[in-house]
Amino acid sequence: MRTVKLLWIGTMAVAWTIPGEGIGAVTDFTFSQPFALQVTGDAGAGPFSRATAANASGEVVGYYRVRTSTGGDSPAATSRGFTANPPYASATRIPGADTYSRLFPWGVNNAGVIVGSARQTARSPLYPFYATPSTAVPGLTGGYGEAKGVQNSLTTSPRNFGIVGYMCPSTVDCRDPAAGAGSPTAFYFNPGTDTAATSGFPNWSADASQANAINDQGTIAGTYTLGGHTHALRYDWNSRSGEDLNGYLQGAISSQGNAINAAGDVAGTAAFADFDRAFVVAAGGKSATLLDPESSFVSTAAAGIADDGVVVGTMCKAAQDCGRFDDLGDNNPQQGKNAAMLWIAGANKAFNLTAVSGASTSGWTELSFAESVTKLDADLTRRLYGTSADAYLITGVGYFGAERRAFALTAIAVPEPRATALLAAGMLVLGLAHLVRRRG
């Protein structure tokens, strides 16, 4: 069997202090060096790879391209999906992936169910798919399009989980208005209960729509278009009700909801007249927090959000289309134009992951685009890193030298010094009190 080998680059950790309150009492992180994708057992493997998602068990999914006949890296080249698990010594193809010319995983849940899109040939219609660890890759019932997000199992039944994405009314990619293929429509599909996908956001008027992520509570982050205006949407599938988030983004021309965490906080990207800006709208909140870039960048875009409000995405030197990393890999970040970002609640600023992780010391030219962030399972964190602190697995794509490679790195929270001091003081007081009681 052909395998994809993930090469761990270094073990050095870098401490980083973020100004501000951060999440709870956390303002410091230590980072593992990013690992780079190395393909073995496939003589035609090209230099491009992309890590698109991960779960709490540390499983990473993504894809890599096969070189063209001329040895180049073309968007029309064959793309093969992979999955890898700690300690990332090797990776394998997604079962059944060899029957497709191009396969793109976009999400994975904690049970290892992978969702995404696939083509039979390089230019054939795009189909949504899901795959369990024990089954081949099937297409979803209902048409053409992409599966973008997946819930964890809702009951003890391993097939009871929701999948969301978008469908097209014809074989032509409906995201391109010039193609005349009609408009994309959001869908919801549960393999355990549904025979076909439910189209659209029920009780919500839209000319076009797309569901990008769903949490275990059934709340969806997505986008809808009505009357020529495209807005971010938070939609509760259980109550069949939605909330337009663009109203919280004063001055925004358009917006899109890209990610959601367990609390219902939505992260996305809004387009303003002179720049794009990543944003977070908290669950129950009536305002948005805009994520400003470092001074050398103009725009920001959000792609993922963890349950503690840790946000990842990219910073751009371009004013518009900052978050546009085409789903099919046809539009890739240009070297020197993007920087993967990490944002922490309370810091009110996005940080350059290349700089704060020390990636340049292990062969990386830059980390360009962070696509997902997931809090790792506590037992896994203790086993891998020997700590009870929160750890976040971040995936994306960057430049390893001159080659575009998948990356994944772990950010481990370090308690704020004053919190540690208070804890130590508290323990001292308890110890003295115990000593006094014994002497009494």
In DSSP terms, 266 is beta-bridged to 260, 281
Torsion of CA 351, 380, 32, 47, to 10 degrees: -90
CATH ID of 3-439, from 3.30.460.80, 3.40.50.720, 2.120.10.30, 3.90.740.10: 2.120.10.30
Instruction: For 190-337, list the strands marked E by DSSP.
Output: 198-199, 208-214, 219-226, 229-236, 241-244, 254-260, 266-271, 276-281, 288-291, 299-305, 311-316
Q: Are 131 and 139 in contact (CB under 8 A)?
A: no
Three-state SS annotation for 185-223:
EEEEECCCCCCCCEECCCCCCCCEEEEEEECCCCEEEEE
Rounded CA-CA distance 29/220 in Å is 30
CB atoms inside a 10 Å sphere around CB 74 = 16
**Residue 87: is the preceding peptide bond cis (ω within 30°)?**
yes
Q: 48: helix, coil or strand?
A: strand
| The pair of three-digit structure tokens given for residue 431, joined into one six-digit string | 């110890």
pLDDT of res. 85? 83
User: How far, CA to CA in Å, does 440 sit from each of 129, 387, 429, 431?
Assistant: 70, 38, 16, 14
- One-letter amino acid at 12 equals M
pLDDT of res. 173? 62
Rounded CA-CA distance 374/55 in Å is 6
- In tens digits, what is the pLDDT along the chain, a chain of 440 residues? 222 222 222 333 444 444 444 334 345 678 887 776 555 555 556 668 899 999 999 999 998 887 665 545 555 567 888 888 887 766 777 766 667 788 889 999 999 999 998 887 766 778 898 888 877 677 665 568 899 999 997 766 667 899 999 988 766 666 554 444 568 899 999 988 888 888 899 999 999 999 999 999 999 999 999 988 999 999 999 999 999 999 999 999 999 999 999 999 999 999 999 999 999 999 988 889 999 999 899 999 999 999 888 999 999 998 877 866 554 444 455 677 889 999 987 666 778 999 888 898 888 999 999 999 999 999 999 999 899 999 999 999 999 888 888 898 999 987 655 444 433 443 343 344 434 444 45
- DSSP at 67: P
